[in-house]
Amino acid sequence: MKERVLKVRRLGRFSYSEGLSLQKKLEAKAIEKRKEDYLLLLEHPHTFTLGRRAKDEGILATKELLESLNVEVFETNRGGKVTYHGVGQIVGYPVISLSPDRKDVHKYVRDLEEVLIRTLSGFDIDSFRIEGLTGVHTNDGKIAAIGVHIKRWVTTHGFALNVNTDLDYYKWIIACEGEPVTSMEKILGNEISLAEVEDGLIRNFSDVFGIKEIEQKISRKKATV
């Protein structure tokens, strides 16, 4: 049996709408062929997203304030409530087929948490799961959010890890279950290289999901798949 290949695309700054469009394109390809697994790593401009369990009151800012903060708002089909994406945060969108041997949604989410926990450990940050909640936490607050969508056992959406994130934007939403939030920069006291964190995420994603072959492309201006 041929080894699965993880096609990693390091996209840099990428609008949320462009990210959705690219995921849909790759999702259709994965459903049709079941041969290629993708991991998209990128930053979004300031964005609030509402998951399937979100309510409008989860965003505390007025329309006028959102405009002054240059924040876009999107309703999505991922799980979860309201979350923030922005500069200094690494967003990961795995577009992978869980069929035939990983058809377990809860295990998939736990595996994403494991990727993040291992990556943070590589920077000497202790992180953990909390029973009944999704995402990755530290003693200083939640550091990574997870919200996924699965169609015909192909995944979209994914995780958001606060690296050098401006945490002030969280003041304008009730994030997930209302937990306090933190970032790698806040915990360690210095700015962190996004490229180094991406390296750790790729390595740990490959290990946790058992994908040995990795193909990488860095495309900071226009995504090529």
pLDDT above 60: residue 91: yes
What's the whole-number mean pLDDT along residues 182-195? 97
pLDDT recorded at residue 223? 45
At residue 61, the pLDDT reads 84
The whole-chain average pLDDT of the chain stands at 89
Cβ atoms < 10 Å from Cβ of 144: 29
DSSP states of 203-220: HHHHHHHT--EEEEEE-S
**Would you place residue 36 in the very low, low, confident or very high pLDDT band (cuts 50, 70, 90)?**
confident
184 tagged catalytic: no
pTM: 0.91
- Domains of the chain, each with CATH number or no CATH: 5-218 (3.30.930.10)
Name the catalytic one among 176, 181, 184, 194: 176
pLDDT in tens, 138-178: 999 999 999 999 999 999 999 999 999 999 999 988 776 66
According to the model, what pLDDT value does residue 83 have? 86
Residue 96 phi/psi, 5° resolution?
Answer: -130, 155
